[in-house]
A and B are shown apart, each in its own frame.
Chain A
Amino acid sequence: GAGVSQSPSNKVTEKGKDVELRCDPISGHTALYWYRQRLGQGLEFLIYFQGNSAPDKSGLPSDRFSAERTGESVSTLTIQRTQQEDSAVYLCASSLTSGGGYAGELFFGEGSRLTVL
């Protein structure tokens, strides 16, 4: 597919369990972003990856949240010891970056809906 792909689309887990959410960006897109959207709320920035640079982790809400990205491809968002307040849709986006460091528009995936019981 040509778009940003996220999996799983839905995940139900028990409080205290760890979860991993996956994002496959559009091929060739060097920038990758993770956002969280709680029910009825706006999008909250979590983390940003750009090439081999150190990621911008300024939006991660706690040390239970971490993310990795392998080169300019797949990214995984991990939430350890999940809590009920982690229930949300987790959205991934990618964008092209020009040689001048300017980003094109962000393309979002459909999101992974996480429900913590």
Chain B
Amino acid sequence: DAKTTQPPSMDCAEGRAANLPCNHSTISGNEYVYWYRQIHSQGPQYIIHGLKNNETNEMASLIITEDRKSSTLILPHATLRDTAVYYCIVRGKAAGNKLTFGGGTRVLVKP
């Protein structure tokens, strides 16, 4: 699976949008971009995934650049409960392709 690069940490003000960048310059054509987050002392939680097009769900939006070498996860209105480590992962969709977690971005939402 392609390696991803994320900033180790970032702060965000409560109620503001949080924009989390991810670089994946070696992504291949059949690999998806997945985002998971891990709130302290809990198992990771799926957020969103995409291939080429931008995606939005009830939790977040995913913006993927046209060349697919980077993406941004957007939490539109960050709350204190969004404080977590956010992992950007690229992975082929075939079932045998395991998620490979990097260091992630530790996001602290401040009041």
Render B12-50 as a binary contact track against A, CB cut-off 8 A, 1 for contact. 000000000000000000000010100000111110010
Asked if B77 is at the interface of the complex by the 8 Å CB criterion, the answer is no
Q: How many Cβ-Cβ contacts under 8 Å join chain A to chain B?
A: 56
B100 touches A103 (CB 8 A): no
The interface residues of chain B, by DSSP majority, are classed as: loop
Query: In which size bucket is the chain B interface?
Result: 20 to 34
Asked if A48 is at the interface of the complex by the 8 Å CB criterion, the answer is yes
Contact of B46 among A50, A59, A102, A105 (CB under 8 A): A105
Chain B hits for A91, CB < 8 A: 43-44
A33 touches B43 (CB 8 A): no
How many chain A residues touch B (Cβ–Cβ < 8 Å)? Answer: 27
Interface residues of B (CB under 8 A from A): 34, 36, 42-46, 49, 87, 93-104
Interface residues of A (CB under 8 A from B): 4, 30-31, 33, 35, 42-45, 48, 50, 56, 59, 91, 93, 95, 97, 101-103, 105-111
